[in-house]
């Protein structure tokens, strides 16, 4: 599995686990008193905790997603409680249920796609106004024209598509389909844990609605799980902001510090620096400099031998080999150094076309200019006189300075002489 695939799988993993847990709990027939009581209060508890969490961190999109799910839960829970207590549904059950099936995917998609604005209060008022307007219209229709509205909602508009598989009104299926497509496109262009949670949450709501009056506590369980998915997505993104470097996608300095506390007795640390990066940045611009950092990070993330790369800061990167010796790690570091040195970076011209396909064709042609970069690497192994990771990292940093002094584009181990540096013959001059 590639690094990109692994990252995207990690985006979906928490939500998928919550979805599977919700499905498993919904199909349990006999629940004891404790779980029955828990499921009765769980949606409200999740909204209070998750909503407070989103409000504190000013995540209004997620807050209104939770409110939307909870409003649908409240309306449908009133109907299911009456059904369980009396053995029959309320007179307005059909129209309320059909309206929820139609409006829930609509509002969920609107708030999922609604990007947050800089002015928080105005953004909050606008989101609240949309919810209030749609809710007021739905309430007015339900109170004034229940039978006419029910007939309009339940009308079979596409007879060819109607069958035993269709448990909801036909209008709800295109609403869910449009919602799924837009949420999938949003994740495709902006792969974030929150966008993955929204997509999986939509699937959970789609499964929940037909089972509302069939499986006990399905409504309570799945609404709680969807709100938990949203809260987990916010927490996942907060973790990434704290521990992952946004430019390169590598784990950041804080993640490195935590990893160094769990390395055990045998490990190797390497410090990597992009050669002449400041001069390169001044010559070609910061955009190209960022491109270089992303390139080096991409190559380092694929280091073999069990290594894990981290963004240390600026143009410096760290590579951690847990449970390895220096001799085992040196060939893998030399391989990465050589890959970076042999890679040509295609530079975009200032008059590059707006169309991406034309830009790729132009860069592939003879007129496209290219540059190459190199990296210097210093390596240190835990020794008896260097017992802490901080001391080993400092020794690797000193070896990095030695690699710079040896002419750059080389790998030097701590205590190694310049003549012992691993370098390409073409860089020896």
Q: Which residues are catalytic?
A: 315
Q: Are 392 and 272 in contact (CB under 8 A)?
A: no
By C-alpha distance, which of 240, 229, 216, 20 is closest to 108? 229
Q: 169: phi > 0 → left, psi -120 to 50 → alpha, else beta; which?
A: beta
Any bridge partners for residue 369, and if so which? 347
Q: Phi and psi dihedrals of 147, rounded to 5?
A: -70, -45
Q: Give the C-alpha separation, 271 to 367, whole Å.
A: 36
Instruction: For tokens 């030399």, name the residue.
Output: 334
Q: Give the C-alpha separation, 37 to 35, whole Å.
A: 5
Distances (CA, A) of 63 to 70, 114, 231, 261: 11, 12, 9, 36
E-strand spans in 102-242? none
């Amino acid at each position: 599995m590639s690094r990109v695939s692994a990252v995207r799988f990690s985006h979906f993993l928490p939500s998928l686990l919550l979805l599977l847990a919700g499905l498993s709990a919904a199909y349990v027939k006999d629940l004891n008193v404790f779980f029955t009581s828990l499921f009765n209060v769980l949606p409200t508890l999740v909204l209070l905790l998750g909503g407070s969490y989103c409000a504190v961190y000013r995540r209004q999109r997620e807050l209104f997603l939770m409110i939307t799910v909870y409003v649908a839960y409240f309306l449908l829970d009133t109907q299911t409680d009456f059904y369980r207590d009396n053995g029959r549904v309320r007179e307005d059950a059909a129209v309320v249920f059909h309206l929820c099936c139609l409006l829930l995917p609509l509002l969920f998609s609107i708030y999922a796609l609604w990007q947050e604005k800089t002015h928080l209060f105005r953004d909050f008022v606008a989101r609240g106004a949309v919810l209030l307007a749609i809710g007021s219209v739905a309430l007015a229709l339900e109170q004034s024209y229940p039978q006419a509205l029910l007939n309009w909602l339940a009308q079979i508009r596409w007879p060819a598509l109607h069958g035993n598989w269709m448990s909801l009104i036909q209008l709800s299926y295109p609403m869910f389909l449009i919602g799924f497509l837009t949420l999938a496109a949003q994740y495709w262009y902006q792969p974030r844990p929150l966008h993955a949670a929204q997509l999986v949450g939509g699937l959970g709501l789609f499964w929940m609605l037909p089972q509302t009056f069939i499986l006990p506590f399905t409504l309570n369980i799945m609404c709680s799980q969807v709100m938990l998915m949203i809260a987990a997505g916010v927490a996942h993104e907060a973790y990434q902001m704290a521990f992952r470097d946004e430019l390169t996608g590598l784990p950041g300095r804080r993640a490195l510090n935590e990893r160094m506390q769990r390395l055990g007795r045998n490990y190797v640390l390497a410090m990597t620096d992009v050669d002449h990066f400041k001069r390169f940045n001044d010559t070609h611009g910061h955009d190209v400099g960022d491109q270089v950092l992303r390139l080096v990070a991409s190559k380092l993330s694929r280091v073999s031998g069990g290594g894990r790369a981290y963004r240390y800061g600026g143009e410096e990167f760290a590579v951690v080999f847990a449970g390895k010796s220096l001799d085992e790690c040196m060939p893998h570091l030399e391989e990465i150094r050589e890959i970076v040195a042999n890679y040509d970076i295609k530079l975009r011209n200032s008059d590059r076309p707006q169309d991406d396909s034309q830009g790729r064709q132009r860069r592939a042609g003879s007129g496209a200019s290219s540059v190459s970069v190199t990296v210097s690497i210093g390596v240190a192994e835990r020794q008896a006189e260097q017992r802490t990771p901080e001391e080993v990292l400092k020794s690797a940093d000193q070896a990095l300075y030695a690699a710079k002094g040896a002419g750059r584009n080389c790998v030097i181990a701590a205590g190694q002489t310049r003549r012992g540096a691993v370098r390409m013959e073409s860089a020896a001059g």
